[in-house]
Amino acid sequence: MIFSSKAEYGVRLMVELGRQSPEHPTSLKAVAEAEGLPLAYLEQVVARLRKAELVMSARGAHGGYWLARAPEEISMDEVVQALEGAIAPMECFVNEHTERVLCSHEPDAGRGCATKLLWTRVQGGIIRSLQQTTLADLVEFSKRGEPVAGESVSPTTLGRSAKAELRAGAAA
Amino acid sequence: MIFSSKAEYGVRLMVELGRQSPEHPTSLKAVAEAEGLPLAYLEQVVARLRKAELVMSARGAHGGYWLARAPEEISMDEVVQALEGAIAPMECFVNEHTERVLCSHEPDAGRGCATKLLWTRVQGGIIRSLQQTTLADLVEFSKRGEPVAGESVSPTTLGRSAKAELRAGAAA
DNA sequence: GCTTAACCTAGCGCGCTGGTAGGATTTATA
DNA sequence: TATAAATCCTACCAGCGCGCTAGGTTAAGC
């Protein structure tokens, strides 16, 4: 498993907010009930999104959360990064100071570190796919089950519909 | 963190085997000492590679391990999959039956599941970057610090040297 | 001033990760 | 044939992070 449930819950929350009009704030309770998620835990999740300035909040009665920007301008790598911390395939990537036995990547010390090359490529693959997906893509998909054809879909999809992507893409 | 140390250790082991001639087997003890890894734990790691038929073994004195195929014909997604199990960004991807609260991806139930679209794309990005890297790439890189120019480098690199890739790619 | 909400912090059980321990089995060699 | 060197196998264990709960404080509407 790669991402924790924080990412899952947080993304769902963002999608839910994206479905609402930003006129009036949405309470966490409403989101928790709609998605069947524990409210108290959602509070911790949304706190990360707020600190990253991806959502805004209003306290008190009829308070709640709403998106800080339009869904089209929120790329999912920001969201996932806010929820999960640095996006890295290996421990030594996130904290260079944690010099555990696990990681002996000497920094550019003559002979190249083979695993670092591999993890760098993987990291690139992850980040690219996250960057090329906006929150608007997900909101659209959740509304119709399929994004509008001819819209500014990310380059990777190359015209394939999101549904076809789902069927084909999961083949490991 | 995405991949566990099994992946790190196992990939290093594969690279080490790739550096040796397949004439005579290499003992785990030698690998463990060369890489500074715990021998007993490496045994469990290499067992996964053996079950996946990526390495072969000979028991007894002067026994050891060697690659089952040429490094050029071993793509890293096979290796990582053998070490880590199914490559999935989220729990529900690896085991559809573990219906925890975490995952409520109804299978194609009308309205599309937005997070599933996202994780599918991420999974594609990971698997693609792993498939496009062969063990030979890593062995080459570990030998020279840079792959031979003009060789059959994976399409993603597009002529950029591996060193440049390392410098640029890690920027989150 | 009651209710509704965001906000904060501490704690906790469970499972998985990263090992260790101790052996059994197989093979080369003296 | 005894010994050493190696793979192979299983059980066990400590630590820690994840997912979550508990219990509050603060702020805003009616």
DSSP state of A126: H
Q: Please state whether strand C lies within 7 Å of residue B63 at its CB atom.
A: yes
Q: Do A112 and B137 touch (CB under 8 A)?
A: no
Q: State pLDDT tens for residues B4-36.
A: 999 999 999 999 999 997 778 999 999 999 999
Positive or negative, the CA dihedral A70, A140, A47, A1 is negative
Chain A span 111-130 residues with beta carbon within 7 Å of strand C: none
Band (pLDDT 50/70/90 cuts) for residue B145 is low
Q: What is the pTM of this model?
A: 0.84
Contacts 24+ apart (CB under 8 A), A107-110: A108/B166, A110/B145
Backbone angles phi, psi at B75, to 5 degrees: -90, 145
Q: Could you give the CA distance from residue B17 to residue A101 in angstroms, rounded to a whole number? A: 20
Q: State pLDDT tens for residues B88-106.
A: 888 777 655 444 444 455 5
Backbone angles phi, psi at B53, to 5 degrees: 60, 35
Using CB atoms, pick whichever of A108, A126, A166 lies closest to residue B126: A126
Q: What is the pLDDT of residue A145?
A: 53
Position A18 pLDDT exceeds 80: yes
Considering only CA atoms, give the Rg of chain B.
19
Token pair of A83, please? 């929820």
Mean pLDDT along residues A127-137: 97
Contact yes or no for A28/A38 (Cβ under 8 A):
no
Q: What is the pLDDT of residue B46?
A: 98
Contact yes or no for A135/A49 (Cβ under 8 A):
no
Residue with more model confidence, B145 or B150: B145
Q: What is the pLDDT of residue A93?
A: 76
Mean pLDDT along residues A105-120: 70
Q: Please state whether strand C lies within 7 Å of residue A101 at its CB atom.
A: yes
CA-to-C1' span, A131 to D18 (A): 26
Q: What is the mean pLDDT of chain B?
A: 81
Chain A residues lying within 8 Å of B37, measured CB to CB = 101
- For residue B154, give the nearest of B162, B145, B146 by alpha carbon: B162
A113 class by beta-carbon count within 10 Å (0-12 exposed, 13-18 middle, 19+ buried): buried
